[in-house]
Structure 1
């Protein structure tokens, strides 16, 4: 069910993906319990399906639940917990809730730096997301500082032609343009 839902999701067939994700989530809650990692993954998948449909409030409700449960069960430094924090931050950003997004992104970035180190792709992605939030707030200097750091690290770690490096260059150019 989850694999078929993922296939629908990748095809942009949101309603069909949603229906299967709801069924999988409900079954996992019943069979595995509400705090089981697979149940939480199903909830996160459903939240992402809502997210792709622009249903921010429904996505947010599930993401908060998943993040809080993962913090309690897996702890704050667990990779799944950090992913949940980033997903919720992106949802806040799409709702124009920049301060809420920034707070979570700072927390996720600092935790990833501590757990994964600064050169890790997930840490750099968190830093890039935080820079985008700063841009959305019109805080160009803070955005620039982070984007320069992300770009330089990606060049050194991933190489000059890696897609993530090129994205960093583009983001920095956009900030300079603003």
Structure 2
């Protein structure tokens, strides 16, 4: 009878050990899964730079990108053709997110705009460029982001 009690005791201890290791495996798997599932953690965007530049930011997809990047904690530079739309969007972003907003009015159908834009962007730590004006994809990076040592993220039409 003592042997049966001892056998039942060891079976119970073995089951408890297996249960503990199963819980540990589930926790570990959850941690690994969440690490790879969230490819870009919230802090990643800000680690690229404090500012995001969005072209075509006066309306539509460009405006949506502007709001989302500001919600993620980035300051945004809005570039578009219509000053009134830019001012309205900038005011709304500042009011709802608390992010800093700069606006640059320009027409991307012109060729002589890049020096002016470059001057207005001088000194900003730009980490993200959303090219939303439908221009050639290498046009803006060639003018602004000539930093091969930096990681560059491009969002928008390519």
More helix by share: 1
Q: TM-score, normalised by structure 2?
A: 0.28
More strand by share: 2
Q: Specify the structure having the higher radius of gyration (Cα).
A: 2
Q: TM-score, normalised by structure 1?
A: 0.26
